[in-house]
Amino acid sequence: MKVDVLLGLQWGDEGKGKIVDVLAPKYDVVARFQGGPNAGHTLEFDGIKHVLHQIPSGIFRDKTRNIIGNGVVLDPIVFKTEIEKLNKYNLNVRANLYISKKATLIVPSHRLLDQAYEKAKGVDKIGSTLKGIGPSYQDKIGRQGLRVGDVLSENFEAKFKKLTEIHFEILKNHAIDFNWPELEAQFFEAITFLKGFNLIDSEYFINDELKKNSSVLAEGAQGSLLDIDFGSYPFVTSSNTVTAGACTGLGVSPSRIGEVYGIFKAYSTRVGSGPFPTELLDDQGEKMRRDGNEFGSTTGRPRRCGWLDLPSLKYSIMINGVTQLLMMKADVLCEFPVIKVCTHYKLSDGTITESLPYEIVNQKIAPVYTELPGWNTPLTGVTEADMPKELIDYIHFLEKALEVPITLISIGPDRKQTILRSKVKA
Ligand code: GDP
Ligand code: IMO
Ligand code: MG
């Protein structure tokens, strides 16, 4: 069997959690391959909303095994809180969750460093979630990080001390307040908790499952425009959020990749700093934020909102090799009489282009829009058979421009508010 990948094509928060939960019954294994507690993946069913940060979104399906892969940075304190929140739902979490020994650990001083670096950047700050993502990946790449498997070694405390002393040397130069004994105690309590879980060589686990013909879904975090290589650098996260990240973050060969589900909102949002060519700073943007409840799942920050941006979507589709598109939050646009779509960029020298320019941060990019009529009707209870004509036209317009079929339309946050388009099924 192959590994199918589901990932965001925009700046994150496209609705990955909802769709992984919808697709999970089709999969034996769901695996996160990068990112960490900066992610906030929302699932809704039976009138309850759940937000997962590090635990894969297949956890509510009792036949699905869930893996936190080697490419993830794991904060044991956040992990403990997440598991405790799930306790009341009677899930078989201890049996159905596996964690790679090669996943990198986030220690409390990574969060302090994140704060220090952001503060030092001043107005140029990234707008990080401050979960310690950048500093923990820095330590991984700098070959001094701690990994989940290290918690099983006798000298784990000494390794922790050695790493945190390096951090304290840096923190000396920054005015960050913290109570270390408290943070340390919290960390070690969480480490004891973590040791009670299945800590495994997940690359063997996944490849053995593939040999046994099990189906595997890789769940991306963040979005392609936040990718460390291809996003709007430096306003990005610190991992490869694209399909290739699933290979390195799980230990599966590129030849094993099957379907690539690219998920996008019917409009655009971004949280944190950085370029956003189609951003709406007016009443329309405010309306999208209100109707779409566009507030961060992890930090609660208001998300910046704007129209759909085809040059960047095409770029994401190209980098990821997307085979199916999934369009989310179509319901949010139901009161917009006119829907705009950016088809090209006008650069500061007057050039009109469909490509993302290298200089995206220090150049004013003006979107060139096409206007389409809105559907002007609520989508509650709508099925494939009775979708409004204007919505169908919008879908056809996008499929033509993007050259990839849109196989799923989401019309609300609940699991059930999902339309699978039968005619275009790949
Ligand atoms: P993720 O990070 O990609 O999993 O996305 P988030 O969970 O951060 O943000 C998506 C938000 O949109 C969540 O609050 C979801 O409950 C909500 N959502 C998902 N799909 C839809 C949809 O089709 N319509 C509406 N109105 N909300 C949706
Ligand atoms: P999910 O998986 C949206 C953004 C932050 C910031 C930048 C760097 O829920 O889609 P970091 O904490 O990684 O140092 O932040 O990336 N960011 C996200 N935006 N959704 C996310 O995850 C994000 N994870 C990070 O806002 O701009
Ligand atoms: Mg999110």
Residue nearest to atom 13 of ligand 2 (CA): 237
Output the pLDDT for position 423: 62
Tens of pLDDT, residues 283-305:
999 999 999 999 988 889 999 99
How far is it, in rounded angstroms, from Cα 358 to Cα 107? 35
Tens of pLDDT, residues 47-79:
999 999 999 999 999 999 999 999 999 999 999
Q: Give the distance (Å) from ligand 2 centre to CA of residue 206.
A: 27
Q: What is the mean pLDDT of residues 9-27?
A: 98
176 Cβ contact partners less than 8 Å away, ≥ 6 residues apart: 112, 115, 116, 119
Q: What is the mean pLDDT of residues 332-361?
A: 96
Q: Can you read off the two tokens belonging to residue 367? A: 């979107």
Tens of pLDDT, residues 388-400:
999 999 999 999 9
Torsion, Cα of 94, 99, 104, 107 (10° steps): 0
* Cα-Cα-Cα-Cα dihedral sign, residues 299, 304, 305, 311: negative
Which atom of ligand 1 has the smallest separation from the CA of 17? Answer: 4
Q: 132, 116 in Cβ contact below 8 A?
A: no
Q: What is the mean pLDDT of residues 41-45?
A: 97
pLDDT tier at 425 (50, 70, 90 boundaries)? very low
Angle between helices 156-171 and 180-194 (to 10 degrees): 140
Q: Is 13 annotated in the active site? A: yes
Q: Which residues line ligand 1 (CB under 6 A)?
A: 8, 12-18, 39-42, 44, 292-293, 297, 328-329, 331-332, 410-413
pTM of structure? 0.97
Tens of pLDDT, residues 120-132:
999 999 999 999 9
Quick one: DSSP state of residue 225? G
What percent of the chain has pLDDT above 90?
Answer: 97
Q: Is 75 annotated in the active site? A: no
Q: Give the distance (Å) from ligand 2 centre to CA of residue 210.
A: 31
- Mutational test site, ligand 1, from 14, 21, 38, 42, max ligand atoms within 8 Å of CB: 42
Burial of 152 (0-12, 13-18, 19+ CB in 10 A): exposed
Q: Is the pLDDT of residue 152 over 50?
A: yes
Strands (DSSP E) along 88-244, which ranges? 97-100, 104-105, 198-200, 216-223
Q: Can you read off the two tokens belonging to residue 222? A: 């963040």
